[in-house]
Structure 1
Amino acid sequence: MKVTGYRSLTTQHDWGRLIGDVNGVMAGPRTDVHVLILETDDGLEGVGIGAHGDINRVFGAVEGEDPRAVSVLYDRMLARVFKNGHNGATFGAIGAIDMALWDLKAKAIGEPLWRTLGGRDRFVPGYASGLDIALDDDDLVALYERFTDRGFCAAKLKGGRDLDHDLRRLEAVRDVLRRNTTRPALMFDANESWHRSQAVRFVTALEQRVDLTWIEEPVRRWDAAGLASVRRGVRAAVATGENLTGLEQYRPLLDADAVDIVQAGNVWGITHFLRVAAVAHGRDLPVSPVAHHANPLAHAAAAVPNHLTSEVQDLVAPIGLHVDQEFQDGGIVLGDEPGLGIRVDEEWIQQAQAADPPAATAGPHVRPARAGLRLVPEPDAGREEP
């Protein structure tokens, strides 16, 4: 079996709500979902999920190769871009190809990827995370009631601008989760919007009323000294790592003893997660995947010894994707369909050339002008500079 080509599709996810974080909110309730399909000479096809606009930089490393050699092919892709680097969009393309290669490897032997990777239990513990900063209090409660109906006992909220606002929402979600447990796990995500002193000040105030399990990305992803400072200054664990694009980027954080919960983004692929999990395990640290459409890392999470919990952002799949998993008992229940269990209905999806979306002028992927510089709420902090 040889990789012969690929197709790129773009579908959408209908969230049924606006999503975002402290940095901004998406313009509408639907967002693009990029789908990569790797083709082989025997007709078997592998599916990867995630933006892959830089695919032509790395596809030559896998073209004509047996996809079952996925670990070696991952390193071939990294080597292919040795001089120019593999960060950002290129790492996303590597991640999408890597998912599709693992999908092919498991499909070739007719079993779900979680079994191919050595998993024993199809259940992956999870936590609810509704990307919820745009919701009013009533809609926030309604959203987490739906998660609670599926057995979730833990939730992560977005915030970081207004202490009173965030306390009210954390307490409201805590009360909802108490249907399932007397001690819900509450996490809080500041999405790199603070500096270290602001983070300690804000989190310390939250902890006077709420028992936080972890604080996520309190400062910039690469700020090892800042993360270590926050970790020393608060009771909550510090979680970070979803935006680190390469195993080497974890080293300074781990060496600085700056992280308690090691995270990895679903969009960066299966091999990246497995390697991050192994490095974290060597430090006796738990690992936690940050979600993306179809939760592909759940298969790998089922096979590593230090998986803590996986983020679940929604209870439905993107348009045109049929995903063999369910949400029950506060987690992800993986199915038995071969590979990642993702079937693509191309009649529902208009085929388009893979490309990164144009740079947004606002939203959660654009850093506000005053991020990291606030000590008190600033209503106009997200406004663009003239």
Structure 2
Amino acid sequence: MRITGYRSLATVHRWGRPVGDVNGVVAGGVTEVPVVLLETDGGLTGVGLGGHADVHRVFPALEGQDPRAVTSLYDRMLAHVFKYGHSGHTFGTIGALDMALWDLKAKMAQEPLWRTLGAADRFVPAYASGLDYALSDGELVAFYEQWARRGFTGAKVKGGLDVERDVRRLAAVRDVLRANSERPAMMYDVNEAWGHHQAVRLARQVEEQADITWIEEPVRRWDVTGHRAVAAGIRAAVATGENLTGLEHYRPLLAADAVGVVQTGSVWGITHFLRVSTLAFGHSLPVSPVGYNANPVAHAAAAVPNHLVTEVQDLHFPVGLRVDQEIADGGIVLGDAPGLGIEVDEEAIAAQTASGGWSVPAGPHVRPDDAGLRLVPQAR
């Protein structure tokens, strides 16, 4: 079997609530979901999720190749973009194509990807995460109550500009999850909103009033010294990594003992997650993938020995995607459908007319001018 071509689709996810973080919010609650379909001469199609704007540049590395050679093809894609680099859109494109390759490999073996990767158990421990910065306190509680009913014992709350508000919301979500655990795991994500000059002080203020399991991205993603200072200055673990691309970005953080929970972005693909997990395992550190539509990296998470917990952001899936998994018992229960277990209904996708809100020029994925440069955190 050989790879013959690709097709790009664009669907949306309807969250039913505003979603975002301290840097910006999609008030309409609709976000775009790019899908790439990798075609073969054997009749099978691989499904990859995530942005792939550079697919026209990267695909020649795959054309005519046997899709079963996934890890070799991953390195072939990296080699193909050697001259202009593999960050940003390019790394995302490689990740989406890599996801489609793994989907094909498992489909050829006629088994779910978690089995192809060697997992013994289909259950993936998870924590709830609402991208909840814009929710009112009442909406926040109502949102996490549905996760408590599904057995979840951990959750992540967004914050960064108003410590007192953040502490209050962490306590409210903790109380909801006490239905399942006397001491729920609470994660606190400030999405790089703090500067080096204030991160330790603000993290300590939160920790004095709330028992947090980890604080996520307290400073800029590449700031080894800043992460190390926070890690040394508080009791909770420091988590980071979702925006890092390539092992070369992780090594300085791990070498400096600046991270306690190693994260990966789901949109960077399966091979990236597996390699970062191995690097973290070599440092006796746990790994935790951040959430994305349809939870595709959960298949790989089930197969690595140092997986801690996977972020899950919603109970529903994007328009036109049927996914063979269940969110129950505090985690993801993967199914038996071959590959990623994602079935694409192209007619349903073609029929939908909504547009997403992540990619508009004004944000919310645009870093505010004063991020990290505020003398005093200020609520918006």
Query: Partners in 2 of 1:183 and 1:218 — Cα distance?
Result: 23
- Percent identity, aligned pairs only? 67
SS at match of 1:36: strand
Query: Partners in 2 of 1:144 and 1:197 — Cα distance?
Result: 33
**Shift of residue 244 of structure 1?**
0.4
Pair 1:358–1:197, CA change in 2 (3 A): closer
In the alignment, what sits opposite 1:173? Answer: 173
Structure 1 range deviating more: 363-372 or 319-328: 363-372
SS at match of 2:18: coil
Query: Partners in 1 of 2:17 and 2:93 — Cα distance?
Result: 28
**Shift of residue 378 of structure 1?**
2.7
In the alignment, what sits opposite 1:6? Answer: 6
Query: Partners in 2 of 1:237 and 1:357 — Cα distance?
Result: 32
**Shift of residue 262 of structure 1?**
0.4
Give the aligned residue type for 2:55. Answer: I
Equivalent runs, 1:302-317 vs 2, <5 Å? 302-317=302-317
Equivalent runs, 1:40-59 vs 2, <5 Å? 40-59=40-59
**Shift of residue 362 of structure 1?**
3.5
Query: Partners in 1 of 2:190 and 2:259 — Cα distance?
Result: 15
Query: Partners in 2 of 1:273 and 1:323 — Cα distance?
Result: 20
In the alignment, what sits opposite 2:93? Answer: 93
- Aligned residues of 2:148 and 2:177 also touching (Cα < 8 A): yes
Query: Partners in 2 of 1:230 and 1:320 — Cα distance?
Result: 43
Q: Where in structure 2 are there 5+ consecutive unaligned residues?
A: none
SS at match of 1:376: coil
**Per-residue CA distance 1:249-278 (angstroms, 9 max, x = gap):** 101111111100000010000000000000
**Shift of residue 27 of structure 1?**
3.9
In the alignment, what sits opposite 1:384? Answer: none
Query: Partners in 1 of 2:273 and 2:113 — Cα distance?
Result: 14
Query: Partners in 2 of 1:162 and 1:66 — Cα distance?
Result: 52
**Shift of residue 350 of structure 1?**
2.0
- Aligned residues of 2:358 and 2:365 also touching (Cα < 8 A): no
In the alignment, what sits opposite 2:107? Answer: 107
SS at match of 1:101: helix
**Shift of residue 126 of structure 1?**
0.3
SS at match of 2:13: strand
Give the aligned residue type for 2:320. Answer: G
**Shift of residue 29 of structure 1?**
1.0
In the alignment, what sits opposite 1:368? Answer: 368
In the alignment, what sits opposite 2:190? Answer: 190
Query: Partners in 1 of 2:378 and 2:181 — Cα distance?
Result: 36
- Aligned residues of 2:11 and 2:318 also touching (Cα < 8 A): yes
> Is the aligned partner of 1:199 residue 2:199?
yes
Equivalent runs, 1:63-82 vs 2, <5 Å? 63-82=63-82
> Is the aligned partner of 1:335 residue 2:335?
yes
- Aligned residues of 2:58 and 2:77 also touching (Cα < 8 A): yes
Give the aligned residue type for 1:56. Answer: H
In the alignment, what sits opposite 2:37? Answer: 37
**Shift of residue 203 of structure 1?**
1.3
**Shift of residue 360 of structure 1?**
3.1
Structure 1 range deviating more: 280-289 or 195-204: 195-204
Query: Partners in 1 of 2:314 and 2:91 — Cα distance?
Result: 25
Q: Where in structure 1 are there 5+ consecutive unaligned residues?
A: 381-386
- Aligned residues of 1:6 and 1:38 also touching (Cα < 8 A): yes
TM-score with structure 1 setting the length: 0.95
Give the aligned residue type for 1:319. Answer: V
**Shift of residue 357 of structure 1?**
8.9
- Aligned residues of 1:10 and 1:351 also touching (Cα < 8 A): no
Equivalent runs, 1:142-181 vs 2, <5 Å? 142-181=142-181
Query: Partners in 2 of 1:323 and 1:119 — Cα distance?
Result: 19
In the alignment, what sits opposite 2:232? Answer: 232
